[in-house]
């Protein structure tokens, strides 16, 4: 299964729309978003794309009540976890969070084949023991090349996509 991994969209609705168009065209079946949507209207964009999204809060998400309400009312399209999320796809277990120290802790447990995180706005791909650690960089485009990653669970191939 192909899934998109993104983070730090920070209200850049135009970059998010471009990313969602690419995600649809590449036939990704799920999205992992590692936080910092900022405003609730970003969830409306994700919901409109019609792709299941698994998300966590970041440190800049403003109206957490409204974000939670939109996720709850999305008919199962948006799953929102407070700090740590996890999904299992074809026995491939992925943990995700916003901050690097939490990602390090998740990787240290040995429970996950991959841990995704954001916050720094910088793309990073590394290993800790048997765990792949992925920061997809930022959607916003403030600190570098805006983009996200596509991960194929069958081949474990990761592509960084610029938007």
Show Cβ contacts of residue 50 under 8 Å, excluding neighbours closer than 6 positions: 77
- How confident is the model at residue 86, as a pLDDT? 98
In a domain, 158, yes or no: no
pLDDT tens, residue by residue, 62-103? 899 999 999 999 999 999 999 999 999 988 999 999 999 999
With respect to residue 9, please indicate whether it lies within any of the assigned structural domains. yes
Q: Note whether residue 56 is domain-resident.
A: yes
Comparing CA positions, the residue from 95, 143, 104 lying closest to residue 126 is: 104
Would residue 111 count as lying in a domain?
yes
Structural domain including 65 reads 2-153
The total number of structural domains in the chain stands at 1
Percent with pLDDT over 90 in the chain: 96
Residue 161 lies in a domain: no
pLDDT digits (tens, 9 = 90+) for 94-117: 999 999 999 999 999 999 999 999
* CA distances (Å), origin 14, targets 67, 117, 146: 19, 22, 11
Question: Does 159 map to a domain?
Answer: no
CATH of residue 74's domain is 3.60.21.10
With respect to residue 117, please indicate whether it lies within any of the assigned structural domains.
Answer: yes
DSSP string, 66-89: HHHHHHHTSTTSEEEESS-EEEEE
In a domain, 163, yes or no: no
Whole-number pLDDT of residue 102: 98
Q: Rounded to an integer, what distance in angstroms lies between the CA atom of residue 125 and that of residue 105?
A: 16
DSSP designation for 9: -
């Amino acid at each position: 299964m192909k899934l998109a991994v993104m983070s730090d969209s920070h209200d850049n609705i135009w970059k998010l729309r471009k990313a969602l168009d690419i995600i649809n065209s590449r036939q990704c079946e799920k999205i992992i978003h590692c936080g910092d949507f900022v405003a609730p209207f970003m969830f409306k964009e994700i919901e409109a794309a019609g792709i299941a999204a698994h998300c966590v809060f970041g440190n800049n998400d403003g109206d957490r009540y409204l974000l939670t309400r939109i996720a709850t009312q999305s008919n199962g399209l948006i799953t929102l976890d407070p700090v740590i999320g996890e999904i299992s796809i074809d026995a491939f277990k992925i943990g995700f969070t916003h901050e690097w120290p939490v990602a390090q802790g998740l990787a240290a447990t040995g429970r996950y084949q991959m841990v995704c995180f954001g916050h720094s706005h910088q793309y990073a791909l590394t290993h800790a023991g048997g765990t792949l650690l992925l920061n997809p960089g930022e959607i916003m485009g403030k600190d570098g090349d805006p983009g996200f990653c596509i991960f194929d669970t069958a081949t474990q191939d990761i592509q960084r996509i610029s938007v």
